[in-house]
Structure 1
């Protein structure tokens, strides 16, 4: 059973009536509901908990961390960011959703500004599947239509993705690399763009399917972490220069 921790800053739901109406128990609880229904062991963590809910013990028991943040990126402590980054390099999977692209964690793992164009106009988005054979796209047709989403547009200042799985097209004419993957150390990262807090995106069953697939894809490979540093020879070295 995949062990998933869903992290959410949990601020909009407390201060914005429109968001609270859509996600009365928080975005993290909605994400947890369908991941749990998919047979995953889920727990949640939020910004205002001690150590942001991401203690060493919690992370040690996490196969995949799902991250949603927006207005409080700067409030995440650098020490916690480094702790989570270390776990990703060691093999923990990471699924970054929507505005998590500007989180300290994602930017640290990418090494770029991760900036983009944006527009909140309630426009239609069509997510085109670019890699039908990829396991993250399993069970999805040629595209997913979302009636309303916040526009994220190119240029998206990220390293060239290892894989491009979804491209988003918006009613206003913009396009965006909406579903991408990376490997960092022994860890796998999936970034997925849909999920603005004022739209009920995470109730869409196709979006849920993609996130479930993404978590399953990002789960750790069962192997020992590589050993680095000075290494003893495995075989006898003949004619050594020393």
Structure 2
């Protein structure tokens, strides 16, 4: 059976900013979905969802049909309904994979799963980013060049307010001198979570074939081997912001 992937994005910038719309005419979610289909073919079944969809496109039924969820957000983190965040969290604890991308580090769902601020230092000067593999035997790093070169990108820097990753796959260095833990793996309940930082809306990062390779590898890694089961007993714990 193909891995069922839901590619989620808030879709805030694309309708409002012509430059972003030209860069991502099908939306950031569309570019990510196209990359997964290109890399993985029949191994995946990909759908997209955005914030404006009913229940943000993440109803119980839609999540039940999802093995791996990818999440991109930036401007509308607080507009995501708490009940949807709790629903996604239950699914992750029950075994659904989650890929959190770029500024999704500050999404409600990532903060809920990490239990920390998930804050970081940043600036946007269009600098070169080098993504260095520090776990060359990890499945997400398979076939990824060392380093992966991104010509222009928003700069992220430490300290990054996350728990110590269960597995650190990538670190990035920027031409301005910053370094950053850019590829982090976690286990939460029965689910696998991967955070990958490259991917700002102002640069065509999700068209980069090697970034697409990382995301495709991450989907294969995060997909539950035995399907998504029932959530853990503590999955219904209220989330407070």
How does the TM-score come out when normalised to structure 1?
0.92
The alpha-carbon distance between structure 1 residues 224 and 53, as it changes in their structure 2 partners (threshold 3 A), is closer
Aligned to 1:29: 30
Conserved 8 A contact 1:91-1:221: no
Conserved 8 A contact 1:68-1:96: yes
Structure with bigger RCO (C-alpha 8 Å, 6+ apart) = 2
Conserved 8 A contact 1:45-1:52: yes
Instruction: Show CA shifts across 1:179-199 (max 9, x none).
Output: 010000000000000000010
Aligned to 2:73: 69
Aligned to 2:14: 13
Q: Distance in 1 between matches of 2:10 and 2:204?
A: 18
Q: Distance in 1 between matches of 2:228 and 2:100?
A: 25
The 5-angstrom pairing of residues 1-242 of structure 1 reads 1-37=2-38, 38-39=40-41, 40-222=44-226, 225=229
Larger proportion of helix:
2
Conserved 8 A contact 2:182-2:196: yes
Give SS of 2:104's match. Answer: helix
Aligned to 2:239: none
What is the deviation of 1:221?
Answer: 2.3
Structure 2 spans left out of the alignment, 5+ residues = 234-241
Q: Distance in 2 between matches of 1:202 and 1:228?
A: 34
What is the deviation of 1:17?
Answer: 1.3
Q: Distance in 1 between matches of 2:229 and 2:36?
A: 27
Conserved 8 A contact 2:90-2:231: no
Aligned to 1:235: none
Give SS of 2:48's match. Answer: strand
Conserved 8 A contact 1:4-1:62: yes
Q: How many residues align?
A: 229
Aligned to 1:232: none
Conserved 8 A contact 2:189-2:232: no
Aligned to 1:236: none
The alpha-carbon distance between structure 1 residues 55 and 166, as it changes in their structure 2 partners (threshold 3 A), is same
Structure 1 spans left out of the alignment, 5+ residues = 230-242
Conserved 8 A contact 2:94-2:232: no
**Structure label with greater radius of gyration:** 1
Query: How large is the RMSD of aligned CA atoms in angstroms?
Result: 1.4
Conserved 8 A contact 2:111-2:117: yes
The alpha-carbon distance between structure 1 residues 140 and 224, as it changes in their structure 2 partners (threshold 3 A), is closer
What is the deviation of 1:34?
Answer: 1.7
